[in-house]
Amino acid sequence: MSVADAFRKHHHQLLEYLDAYREDSSLSPAELQSLRTFLLKDLLPHARGEERALYPAVELLIRQHGEATATMRVDHEFIEGYIRQIDELIGQIQQAGPEDQANARRRLRQLLIELYALLRVHMAKEERVYLPLFERHLSPEAQQRVFEAMHEESEEHGLTVVRELDVRSVPPPQRHPLIFETFEALRPGEAFILINDHDPKPLYYQFQYERPGQFVWAYLEEGPEVWRVRIGRVASPGSGHGG
Ligand SMILES: [Fe+2]
Ligand SMILES: [Fe+2]
Protein backbone atom coordinates (compact mmCIF):
# COMPACT_ATOMS: atom_id res chain seq x y z
CA MET A 1 0.00 0.00 0.00
CA SER A 2 1.30 3.46 -0.88
CA VAL A 3 1.59 6.09 1.83
CA ALA A 4 -1.22 8.11 0.23
CA ASP A 5 -3.42 5.03 0.30
CA ALA A 6 -2.61 4.57 3.96
CA PHE A 7 -3.89 8.12 4.55
CA ARG A 8 -7.05 7.40 2.58
CA LYS A 9 -7.60 4.18 4.47
CA HIS A 10 -7.22 5.90 7.80
CA HIS A 11 -9.69 8.62 6.78
CA HIS A 12 -12.12 5.96 5.74
CA GLN A 13 -11.80 4.22 9.09
CA LEU A 14 -12.32 7.44 11.02
CA LEU A 15 -15.47 8.26 9.10
CA GLU A 16 -16.80 4.75 9.37
CA TYR A 17 -16.27 4.71 13.09
CA LEU A 18 -18.11 7.95 13.60
CA ASP A 19 -20.84 6.93 11.20
CA ALA A 20 -21.70 3.95 13.35
CA TYR A 21 -22.65 6.34 16.16
CA ARG A 22 -24.62 8.77 14.10
CA GLU A 23 -27.98 7.09 13.85
CA ASP A 24 -28.01 5.67 17.33
CA SER A 25 -29.64 7.88 19.94
CA SER A 26 -29.57 5.26 22.70
CA LEU A 27 -25.87 4.80 23.31
CA SER A 28 -24.92 2.74 26.35
CA PRO A 29 -22.50 4.14 28.95
CA ALA A 30 -19.74 1.95 27.50
CA GLU A 31 -20.44 3.18 23.98
CA LEU A 32 -20.42 6.77 25.12
CA GLN A 33 -17.06 6.18 26.74
CA SER A 34 -15.56 4.62 23.63
CA LEU A 35 -16.93 7.47 21.52
CA ARG A 36 -15.14 9.90 23.76
CA THR A 37 -11.95 7.87 23.54
CA PHE A 38 -12.21 7.81 19.76
CA LEU A 39 -12.65 11.56 19.49
CA LEU A 40 -9.84 12.45 21.86
CA LYS A 41 -7.38 9.68 21.09
CA ASP A 42 -7.94 9.11 17.37
CA LEU A 43 -9.63 11.99 15.62
CA LEU A 44 -7.95 14.86 17.41
CA PRO A 45 -4.41 13.43 17.13
CA HIS A 46 -5.10 12.78 13.46
CA ALA A 47 -5.87 16.46 12.84
CA ARG A 48 -2.87 17.59 14.87
CA GLY A 49 -0.59 15.14 13.12
CA GLU A 50 -1.67 16.50 9.77
CA GLU A 51 -0.92 20.04 10.81
CA ARG A 52 2.48 19.00 12.07
CA ALA A 53 3.58 16.81 9.19
CA LEU A 54 1.29 16.63 6.16
CA TYR A 55 0.29 20.27 5.73
CA PRO A 56 3.81 21.74 5.79
CA ALA A 57 4.80 19.26 3.10
CA VAL A 58 1.70 20.03 1.04
CA GLU A 59 2.01 23.80 1.46
CA LEU A 60 5.19 23.74 -0.56
CA LEU A 61 3.80 21.37 -3.15
CA ILE A 62 0.72 23.48 -3.73
CA ARG A 63 2.89 26.51 -4.39
CA GLN A 64 4.87 24.58 -6.96
CA HIS A 65 2.35 22.27 -8.55
CA GLY A 66 -1.09 22.77 -7.14
CA GLU A 67 -4.07 25.05 -7.02
CA ALA A 68 -4.73 26.71 -3.71
CA THR A 69 -8.49 26.92 -4.23
CA ALA A 70 -8.98 23.33 -5.35
CA THR A 71 -9.99 22.26 -1.84
CA MET A 72 -12.74 24.88 -1.81
CA ARG A 73 -14.11 23.59 -5.06
CA VAL A 74 -14.35 20.17 -3.48
CA ASP A 75 -16.48 21.78 -0.75
CA HIS A 76 -18.69 23.30 -3.42
CA GLU A 77 -19.11 19.91 -5.05
CA PHE A 78 -20.42 18.54 -1.76
CA ILE A 79 -22.62 21.58 -1.21
CA GLU A 80 -24.10 21.08 -4.64
CA GLY A 81 -24.60 17.39 -3.90
CA TYR A 82 -26.60 18.30 -0.79
CA ILE A 83 -28.63 20.87 -2.69
CA ARG A 84 -29.60 18.29 -5.27
CA GLN A 85 -30.54 15.68 -2.67
CA ILE A 86 -32.55 18.16 -0.65
CA ASP A 87 -34.28 19.48 -3.74
CA GLU A 88 -35.27 15.95 -4.73
CA LEU A 89 -36.42 15.12 -1.23
CA ILE A 90 -38.63 18.20 -1.03
CA GLY A 91 -40.18 17.12 -4.30
CA GLN A 92 -40.91 13.72 -2.75
CA ILE A 93 -42.35 15.25 0.42
CA GLN A 94 -44.68 17.40 -1.65
CA GLN A 95 -46.12 14.30 -3.27
CA ALA A 96 -45.87 11.68 -0.52
CA GLY A 97 -48.64 10.33 1.67
CA PRO A 98 -48.48 10.89 5.46
CA GLU A 99 -46.58 7.63 6.12
CA ASP A 100 -43.70 8.31 3.71
CA GLN A 101 -43.76 11.99 4.63
CA ALA A 102 -42.49 11.33 8.14
CA ASN A 103 -39.48 9.38 6.86
CA ALA A 104 -38.68 11.89 4.20
CA ARG A 105 -38.92 14.75 6.67
CA ARG A 106 -36.53 12.98 9.05
CA ARG A 107 -34.11 12.50 6.20
CA LEU A 108 -34.53 16.15 5.20
CA ARG A 109 -33.66 17.25 8.70
CA GLN A 110 -30.57 15.06 8.67
CA LEU A 111 -29.41 16.47 5.35
CA LEU A 112 -30.00 20.03 6.52
CA ILE A 113 -27.88 19.41 9.61
CA GLU A 114 -25.08 18.07 7.46
CA LEU A 115 -25.29 20.90 4.95
CA TYR A 116 -25.30 23.42 7.77
CA ALA A 117 -22.14 21.94 9.31
CA LEU A 118 -20.39 21.89 5.96
CA LEU A 119 -21.44 25.47 5.15
CA ARG A 120 -20.23 26.76 8.48
CA VAL A 121 -16.77 25.37 7.90
CA HIS A 122 -16.71 26.41 4.29
CA MET A 123 -17.70 29.99 5.02
CA ALA A 124 -15.27 30.21 7.92
CA LYS A 125 -12.50 29.26 5.48
CA GLU A 126 -13.57 31.92 3.01
CA GLU A 127 -13.93 34.57 5.68
CA ARG A 128 -10.81 33.74 7.66
CA VAL A 129 -8.44 32.94 4.82
CA TYR A 130 -9.66 34.43 1.55
CA LEU A 131 -11.38 37.67 2.46
CA PRO A 132 -8.49 39.08 4.54
CA LEU A 133 -6.15 38.49 1.58
CA PHE A 134 -8.68 40.06 -0.72
CA GLU A 135 -9.09 43.13 1.48
CA ARG A 136 -5.41 43.57 2.14
CA HIS A 137 -3.99 43.06 -1.31
CA LEU A 138 -6.59 44.04 -3.92
CA SER A 139 -7.43 47.62 -4.82
CA PRO A 140 -10.96 48.78 -3.92
CA GLU A 141 -11.76 48.93 -7.65
CA ALA A 142 -10.63 45.35 -8.18
CA GLN A 143 -12.63 44.25 -5.13
CA GLN A 144 -15.67 45.97 -6.58
CA ARG A 145 -15.22 44.19 -9.92
CA VAL A 146 -15.06 40.81 -8.18
CA PHE A 147 -18.19 41.63 -6.25
CA GLU A 148 -20.04 42.65 -9.38
CA ALA A 149 -18.94 39.54 -11.22
CA MET A 150 -20.38 37.43 -8.38
CA HIS A 151 -23.65 39.21 -8.80
CA GLU A 152 -23.83 38.87 -12.55
CA GLU A 153 -23.34 35.17 -12.26
CA SER A 154 -26.24 34.61 -9.95
CA GLU A 155 -28.67 37.09 -11.49
CA GLU A 156 -28.04 36.78 -15.15
CA HIS A 157 -27.65 33.05 -15.35
CA GLY A 158 -28.73 31.35 -12.17
CA LEU A 159 -27.84 28.23 -14.07
CA THR A 160 -26.45 24.95 -12.88
CA VAL A 161 -23.88 23.49 -15.19
CA VAL A 162 -24.65 19.81 -15.43
CA ARG A 163 -22.21 18.61 -18.04
CA GLU A 164 -19.55 19.38 -20.60
CA LEU A 165 -19.89 18.52 -24.24
CA ASP A 166 -16.62 18.42 -26.12
CA VAL A 167 -17.41 18.18 -29.83
CA ARG A 168 -13.88 18.57 -31.08
CA SER A 169 -13.60 14.87 -31.90
CA VAL A 170 -17.16 14.59 -33.22
CA PRO A 171 -17.50 14.60 -37.03
CA PRO A 172 -18.83 18.03 -38.07
CA PRO A 173 -22.17 16.84 -39.54
CA GLN A 174 -23.05 15.23 -36.20
CA ARG A 175 -22.13 18.21 -34.05
CA HIS A 176 -25.25 20.35 -34.26
CA PRO A 177 -27.70 17.44 -33.80
CA LEU A 178 -25.70 16.27 -30.76
CA ILE A 179 -25.66 19.78 -29.30
CA PHE A 180 -29.41 20.22 -29.72
CA GLU A 181 -29.98 16.78 -28.21
CA THR A 182 -27.90 17.82 -25.21
CA PHE A 183 -29.88 21.04 -24.93
CA GLU A 184 -33.18 19.15 -25.07
CA ALA A 185 -32.05 16.93 -22.19
CA LEU A 186 -31.52 19.96 -19.93
CA ARG A 187 -34.09 20.84 -17.35
CA PRO A 188 -35.01 24.50 -17.00
CA GLY A 189 -32.24 26.29 -15.12
CA GLU A 190 -29.57 23.84 -16.24
CA ALA A 191 -26.70 24.45 -18.61
CA PHE A 192 -23.92 22.64 -20.34
CA ILE A 193 -20.49 23.79 -21.44
CA LEU A 194 -19.85 23.37 -25.12
CA ILE A 195 -16.21 22.92 -26.09
CA ASN A 196 -15.32 23.47 -29.71
CA ASP A 197 -12.31 24.16 -31.91
CA HIS A 198 -13.83 27.19 -33.63
CA ASP A 199 -16.25 29.96 -32.78
CA PRO A 200 -19.69 28.30 -32.82
CA LYS A 201 -21.40 31.50 -34.02
CA PRO A 202 -23.47 29.67 -36.70
CA LEU A 203 -24.80 27.46 -33.93
CA TYR A 204 -25.81 30.57 -32.04
CA TYR A 205 -27.88 31.74 -35.00
CA GLN A 206 -29.43 28.31 -35.32
CA PHE A 207 -30.41 28.45 -31.63
CA GLN A 208 -31.87 31.92 -32.11
CA TYR A 209 -33.90 30.62 -35.00
CA GLU A 210 -35.01 27.30 -33.52
CA ARG A 211 -35.19 28.04 -29.78
CA PRO A 212 -35.96 31.74 -29.53
CA GLY A 213 -36.17 32.93 -25.93
CA GLN A 214 -35.38 29.50 -24.53
CA PHE A 215 -31.62 29.60 -24.18
CA VAL A 216 -28.79 31.65 -22.71
CA TRP A 217 -25.46 31.82 -24.40
CA ALA A 218 -22.25 32.94 -22.72
CA TYR A 219 -18.71 32.67 -24.00
CA LEU A 220 -16.33 31.45 -21.31
CA GLU A 221 -13.30 31.17 -23.57
CA GLU A 222 -12.88 32.55 -27.08
CA GLY A 223 -10.03 30.90 -28.91
CA PRO A 224 -7.64 30.98 -30.47
CA GLU A 225 -7.62 27.21 -30.11
CA VAL A 226 -10.53 26.40 -27.87
CA TRP A 227 -13.96 27.95 -27.54
CA ARG A 228 -16.02 27.26 -24.46
CA VAL A 229 -19.63 28.38 -24.37
CA ARG A 230 -22.13 27.96 -21.58
CA ILE A 231 -25.48 27.13 -23.12
CA GLY A 232 -28.35 27.14 -20.68
CA ARG A 233 -32.03 26.49 -20.76
CA VAL A 234 -33.92 29.41 -19.24
CA ALA A 235 -36.17 28.75 -16.31
CA SER A 236 -39.26 30.11 -18.04
CA PRO A 237 -39.45 30.43 -21.81
CA GLY A 238 -39.59 34.00 -22.98
CA SER A 239 -37.29 35.43 -20.31
CA GLY A 240 -34.07 34.39 -21.99
CA HIS A 241 -31.77 36.33 -24.17
CA GLY A 242 -28.80 35.58 -26.35
CA GLY A 243 -25.65 37.46 -27.25
FE1 LIG B 1 -7.39 14.02 7.65
FE1 LIG C 1 -18.14 29.13 -1.31
Domain residue ranges in the chain: 1-19+27-66, 70-137, 158-233
The ligand placed nearest to the CA atom of residue 8 is 1
Centre of ligand 2 from the C-alpha of residue 220, in Å: 20
Closest CA to 231 of 186, 198, 197: 186
**Cβ distance 220 to 229 under 8 Å?**
yes
* The pLDDT value given to residue 238: 43
Q: Residue 17: pLDDT above 50? A: yes
Distance, in Å, from the CA atom of 114 to the CA atom of 112, rounded to the nearest integer, reads: 5
Q: Three-state SS for 28?
A: coil
Centre of ligand 2 from the C-alpha of residue 73, in Å: 8
The ligand placed nearest to the CA atom of residue 79 is 2
Those residues whose C-beta lies under 8 Å from the C-beta of residue 235, and which sit 6 or more positions away, are 158, 188, 189
Centre of ligand 1 from the C-alpha of residue 30, in Å: 26
Instruction: Report whether CATH 3.30.110.40 matches the domain 158-233.
Output: yes
% of residues, the chain, pLDDT over 90: 65
The pLDDT tens digits for 86-144 are 999 999 999 988 888 888 999 999 999 999 999 999 999 999 999 999 999 999 988 88
* The pLDDT value given to residue 119: 97
Centre of ligand 1 from the C-alpha of residue 108, in Å: 27
Distance, in Å, from the CA atom of 43 to the CA atom of 53, rounded to the nearest integer, reads: 15
Q: Residue 47: pLDDT above 90? A: yes
Residue 144: phi and psi, rounded to 5, are -60, -40
pTM: 0.62
The pLDDT tens digits for 132-189 are 999 999 999 888 888 877 766 544 557 888 889 999 999 999 999 999 999 999 998 8
Please, what is the average pLDDT of the chain?
89
